[in-house]
């Protein structure tokens, strides 16, 4: 079993595309598309891998099982749950950028299982490249992660996934992937086979379809499995029940094919067992021995998901009740093991915890597309107590920016109590800043970073460690907001007059309600305004002409922007067609009363 790990946008999925194409997986008449494994709609739109996916290729009479894993730390649970199935990893690194924060994260996890890596230096078609520097950086990373001597003696293959070339020598590349395929066969150990003939496997992934029902996916650790065989399901070392395997599916290229038997080392999908969870052990009833439970890191960010209680509730979505929302969230936790859902004292509010803002925003986007309506609070970092000391998560961040933005960014890092570890000059008048920042300070910083760098900077981070909590208050927006005074339809005349007060979220003809946030105020205080009043009309003609109304294009609200924007006393209203901001208390009198009583959360 081979796993491909890498940082975001270093070419994992493109590399797997080439392996599938050049190994003869596709027949001549089949259409060859890019990013074959990113079959999820959101993956195609965003250009990132969200879910781990299995495939297999046949090369020189060897069956090579491969898993394409996400590169973003927010989807680390997808990496962690399949590590027990892996015999080796392909560590894909950009030929210029080298190892990045997420590279460190996924490599650290694979080293815990004593897996030996094969280093793949990708994007050799780039200009410039610095392969020697990249190799030294990878070696330093392995040393910092306490790699063994065997892991430090890693083979190196140079590739260009885009061009479909590879080689052991960067100056002598072949126009195919044969050197990489040969390296996989040479350096990947054979699956460990136990002398014990009793069947045993662990569930590492769940799927579902209307024909088969629940599908459990995992690697057979020992023994053989036959169709219609009776097996026992173990959870936390306790027997849950005994059931029968209805069918066995093996992965061949992009397809799943039925088979009568499977043996140790095979990755299979089984049906017939409905009450199963990730990490369950499936074994022979005569051999009730559970495998070690999969180690999954705990969530770092928490949000509250609430039933939509705005005046526009139910106008755009179909699934709006607390029962429908809770059922959908619980269904998500079955597959998404790094997500945690808890009910609160308020039956209309649920506490949802995940690995980061991106992890939760992907979930919210999926709910939108399934016709759900809901409101969510500002993301909050989860704090921990260690030795009676309150600690918070810190992240290692790498910022790649133009030199003319250096002063502003370094000043901002100082304001956020960040610690700069390294500052490196890059090509094309750019610099790279490596720093340590608390996760609290990063909420809201990403959007500000893009504004400072005018969209030219890149920002990557992953969890580094938990440390004593910083006393400074982070995450609250400096600017106030413009709040609608009444419910109705916004008109261009009023919006034009309000543009001097700040930037708008709405345009002419949009429906707004009392308490909805319609713009960002230029000053630090909130301002309640009227955006519904049109121009007063009379029967008197003016001697001159009326001034033309020029409306500035409103700010486009995305889920990521929304999660970074809101303050503690605000909510994000999410529907299939709209994303709106609103105050927790819609009436101005209620807001003044809550401020006086210092009351914020109605869901506590």
- Cβ-count burial of 603 within 10 angstroms (0-12 exposed, 13-18 middle, 19+ buried)? middle
Q: Is 145 exposed, middle or buried (0-12, 13-18, 19+ CB in 10 A)?
A: middle
Do 177 and 257 fall into the same domain?
no
Specify whether 167 is located in the same domain as 32: yes
pLDDT of the residue at 192: 67
Pair 461, 398: CB distance under 8 Å: yes
d(CA 436, CA 395): 6
Q: 129 and 180 share a domain? A: yes
pLDDT of residue 303: 93
The secondary element (H helix, E strand) that includes residue 583 is strand 579-583
pLDDT of the residue at 36: 52
Q: Spell out where 95-164 has E strands.
A: 116-122, 156-160
- Please indicate, yes or no, whether residues 455 and 406 belong to a single structural domain of this protein: yes
Start-to-end Cα distance in the chain: 47
392 lies in a domain?
Answer: yes
Q: What integer pLDDT is reported at residue 24 of this predicted model?
A: 67
- In a domain, residue 402? The reply is yes
What's residue 126's pLDDT? 86
What are 519's two structure tokens? Answer: 């713009």
Domain ranges, residue 507? 481-537+549-597
CATH code of the domain in which 461 resides:
3.30.70.240
Q: Give start and end residues of each alpha helix (H) in 163-204.
A: 178-187
- Please give the pLDDT value at position 254: 67
Rounded CA-CA distance 198/180 in Å is 35
SS3 332: helix
- How many CB atoms lie under 10 A from the CB of residue 462? 23
Separate counts of helices (H) and strands (E) for the chain: 15, 36
- Reported as a single tens digit per residue, the pLDDT across 253-301 is 667 888 999 988 888 899 988 888 888 999 999 988 888 888 787 888 9
- The confidence score (pLDDT) of residue 28 equals 46
What's the CATH code of the domain at 101? 3.40.50.300
Q: What is the CATH number of the domain that holds 258?
A: 2.40.30.10
Pair 438, 489 in one domain: no
Question: Has residue 498 been placed in a domain?
Answer: yes
Count CB atoms within 10 A of the CB of residue 224. Answer: 15
**Number of structural domains found in the chain:** 4
Q: Mark whether 92 and 153 lie in a shared domain.
A: yes
Tokens 């039956």 found at? 347
In the 8-state DSSP scheme, what is residue 196?
-
**Which residues does 466 contact at the CB level (< 8 Å), separation at least 6?**
384, 386, 391, 392, 393, 394
Tens of pLDDT, residue by residue over 152-192, are 999 999 999 889 899 999 888 999 999 998 998 888 887 66
Residue 522: other Cβ atoms inside 10 A = 13
CA distance 41 to 49: 11
Same domain, 182 and 57: yes
Q: Which parts of the chain have pLDDT scores under 50?
A: 28-32, 35, 543, 602, 604
Do 127 and 155 contact (CB within 8 A), yes or no?
no
Of 394, 425, 409, 419, which is closest to residue 457 (Cα–Cα)?
409
Residue 559 domain-assigned (yes or no): yes
Rg of the chain's alpha carbons, rounded to an integer? Answer: 27
Residue 350 lies in a domain: no
pTM of the model: 0.83
Check whether residue 79 and residue 32 sit in a common domain. Answer: yes
pLDDT at 424: 84
Assess if residue 456 is contained within a domain.
yes
DSSP 445: H
CA-to-CA distance for 435 and 437, rounded, in angstroms?
6
Q: Please check whether residue 429 lies inside any domain of the structure.
A: yes
Q: Are both 183 and 266 inside the same structural domain?
A: no
**Domain-located, residue 165:** yes
CB 455: neighbour CB atoms within 10 A? 8
Q: Domain boundary residue among 161, 187, 213?
A: 187
- Choosing from 283, 309, 344, the residue where a domain stops is 283
Q: Residue 186 class from Cβ within 10 Å (0-12 exposed, 13-18 middle, 19+ buried)?
A: exposed
Residue 38: per-residue pLDDT: 52
Residues 501 and 586 in one domain: yes
Going by their DSSP bridges, the two strands 267-271 and 224-226 should be labelled as: unpaired
User: What is the longest distance spanned by two Cα atoms in the chain?
Assistant: 100
């Amino acid at each position: 079993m081979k796993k491909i790990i890498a940082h975001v946008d270093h070419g994992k999925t493109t590399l797997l595309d080439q392996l599938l194409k050049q190994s003869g997986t596709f027949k001549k008449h089949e259409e060859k598309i890019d990013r074959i494994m990113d079959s999820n709609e959101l993956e195609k739109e965003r250009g990132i891998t969200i879910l781990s996916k299995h495939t297999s290729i046949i090369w020189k009479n060897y069956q090579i099982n491969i898993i394409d894993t996400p590169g973003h730390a927010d989807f680390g649970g997808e990496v962690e749950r399949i590590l027990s199935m892996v015999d080796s990893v392909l560590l894909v690194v950009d030929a210029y950028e080298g190892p990045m924060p997420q590279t460190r994260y996924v490599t650290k996890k694979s080293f815990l299982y004593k897996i030996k890596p094969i280093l793949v230096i990708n994007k050799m078609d780039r200009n410039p490249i610095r392969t020697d520097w990249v190799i030294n950086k990878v070696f330093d990373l392995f040393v910092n992660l306490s790699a063994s001597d065997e892991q430090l003696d890693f083979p190196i293959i140079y590739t260009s996934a885009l061009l479909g070339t590879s080689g052991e020598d960067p100056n002598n590349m072949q126009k195919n992937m044969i050197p990489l395929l040969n390296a996989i066969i040479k350096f990947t150990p054979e699956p460990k086979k136990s002398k014990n003939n009793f069947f045993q496997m662990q569930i590492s992934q769940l799927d579902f379809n209307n024909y088969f029902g629940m599908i459990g996916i995992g690697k057979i650790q020992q023994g053989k499995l036959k169709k219609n065989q009776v097996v026992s399901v173990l959870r936390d070392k306790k027997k849950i029940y005994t059931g029968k395997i209805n069918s066995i599916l093996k992965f061949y290229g992009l397809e799943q094919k039925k088979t009568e038997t499977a043996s140790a080392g095979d990755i299979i999908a089984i049906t017939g067992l409905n009450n199963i969870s990730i990490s369950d052990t499936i074994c022979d009833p005569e051999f009730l021995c559970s495998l070690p439970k999969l180690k999954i890191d705990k969530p770092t960010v928490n949000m509250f998901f609430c039933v939509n209680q705005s005046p526009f509730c139910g106008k755009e979505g179909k699934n709006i009740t607390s029962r429908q929302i809770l059922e959908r969230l619980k269904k998500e936790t079955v597959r998404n093991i790094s997500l945690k859902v808890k009910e609160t004292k308020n039956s209309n509010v649920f506490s949802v915890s995940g690995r980061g803002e991106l992890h939760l925003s992907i979930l919210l986007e999926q709910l939108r597309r399934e016709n759900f309506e809901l409101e969510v609070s500002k993301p909050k970092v989860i704090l921990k107590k260690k030795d009676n000391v309150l600690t918070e998560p810190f992240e290692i961040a790498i910022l790649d920016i133009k030199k003319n933005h250096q002063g502003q960014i370094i000043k901002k890092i100082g304001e956020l109590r960040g610690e700069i570890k390294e500052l490196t000059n890059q090509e094309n008048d750019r610099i790279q800043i490596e720093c340590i920042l608390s996760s609290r300070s990063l909420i809201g910083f990403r959007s500000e970073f893009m504004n400072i760098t005018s969209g030219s900077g890149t920002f990557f981070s992953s969890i580094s460690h938990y440390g004593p909590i910083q006393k400074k208050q982070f995450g609250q927006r400096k600017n106030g907001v413009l709040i609608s005074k009444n419910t109705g339809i916004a008109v261009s005349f009023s919006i034009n007059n309000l543009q001097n007060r700040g930037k708008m979220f709405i345009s002419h003809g949009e429906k707004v309600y009392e308490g909805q946030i319609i713009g960002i105020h230029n000053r630090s205080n909130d301002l309640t305004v009227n955006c519904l009043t049109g121009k007063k009309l009379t029967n008197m003609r003016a001697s001159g002409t009326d001034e033309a109304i020029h409306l500035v294009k409103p700010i486009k609200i995305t889920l990521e922007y929304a999660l970074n924007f809101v303050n503690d006393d605000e909510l994000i209203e999410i529907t299939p067609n709209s994303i709106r901001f609103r105050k927790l208390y819609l009436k101005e009198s209620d807001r003044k009363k809550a401020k006086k009583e210092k009351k914020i959360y109605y869901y506590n």
